[in-house]
Structure 1
Amino acid sequence: MKPLCFPQYDFRFKSSENTRYIFDVIRKKFVVLQPEEWVRQHLVHYLIKDKGYPKSLINVEKIIRMHGLSKRYDLVVFSPLGEIVLLAECKAPNIPITQETFDQIARYNMALQSRLLVLTNGAKLYCCEMDFDKEKYIFLEQIPEFSR
């Protein structure tokens, strides 16, 4: 897999029947190493190791119901009180981050009401803070450190 805009981390890999797997420290299992998963695992490690987000408050790839449809978010971080404080959408490195990507995470956030939105394809990383009163997002220089 190609290098990304994140620091380098030590990942655990395994191979079986011509398929490569990477260990997900959140789901506590090996998952198929697809390009999007490569980006997601880097983001997970970045949040834990560089930004201080507790592993126990991170949730990966869960289904949410929106307007009768099942959708799957890539990653959320909860506060210690159980509120979602960060919602992330990961794309494969060859997928550009476009307005459509921002629209997708904004639709998810209508149901989840996260204060922080993160979009990354591994080449670029965007972090926005929601202003719910004005119904807009404000771009931040970086993902904030975890605060209790």
Structure 2
Amino acid sequence: MQQLTALNLPPYPFQLKQEGDKLFIFDEVRRKNLVLTPEEWVRQHFIQFLINQKNYPKGLINIEGGLKVNELSKRSDILIYNSLGHKHLLVECKASSVKLTQKAFDQLARYNSTHKVKIIVLTNGLEHYCCEVDHDKKTYRFLHEVPEYSR
């Protein structure tokens, strides 16, 4: 079985399954097994963090949803809606081996130019950056932590 990196997130009792040389993780939001890549390891941890520590309802979480950025098809890692069905929080996940650089922030900003959410998060499982975006003023400010879910 491949070595799984310890992350700066609480541990969760994931359902892992080995098939041949591939390791799978059960995604309880999408209700299916996925090949466990380093980025998926971070994404699954962050999803559980949002559900279990920040009280975001599973039913409001969209994973790897499609979007268009400059006519190119892209996928956002985690997009959370509020109870009214409006986009609220966008998370971009990187593998723990990937440094969170300006390039990663720029990617998240490009995705948010389409989604226009209020809260954006960039994580590699070890470091997490959370910002509140003011689209009218075209500004953002860093938050100390991801906000709790509120209706």
Distance 2:65 2:50 in 1: 18
Greater displacement, 86-95 / 128-137: 128-137
Which residue does the alignment assign to 1:37? 40
Alignment of 1:135 with 2:129, yes or no, is no
Runs ≥4 in structure 1, deviation > 6 angstroms?
none
- Counterpart among 56, 59, 62 of residue 59 in structure 2: 56
Structure 2: distance between partners of 1:87 and 1:63: 13
Q: Deviation at 1:134? A: 2.1
Distance in structure 2 (CA, Å) of the matches to 1:67 and 1:95: 25
Quote the residue 1:109 is aligned against. 112
State the distance in 1 between where 2:46 and 2:69 align. Answer: 25
Identity within the alignment, %: 48
Paired AA for residue 137 in structure 1: Y
Deviation, structure 1 residue 133? 2.3
- Could you tell me which residue of structure 2 aligns to residue 4 of structure 1? 7
Query: C-alpha distance in 2, partners of 1:74/1:96?
Result: 17
The Cα RMSD (Å) is 0.8
**Cα separation, 1, equivalents of 2:70 and 2:110:** 11
Q: Write the distance in 2 (CA, Å) between the matches of 1:103 and 1:55.
A: 27
**Whole-Å separation in 1 of the counterparts to 2:145 and 2:100:** 16
- Alignment partner of 2:96 out of 76, 93, 98: 93
Match for 2:70: what amino acid? H
1:8-64, Cα deviation, whole Å (9 max, x unpaired): 111001011210000001110000000000000000000000000000000101211
Deviation at 1:66, TM superposition (A): 2.4
Question: C-alpha displacement at 1:132, in angstroms?
Answer: 1.4
Distance in 1 between residues matched to 2:104 and 2:81, nearest whole Å: 22
Gaps of 5+ in 1: none
Measure, in 2, the Cα distance between the counterparts of 1:105 and 1:78: 17
Instruction: Give 5+ residue unaligned stretches, structure 2.
Output: none
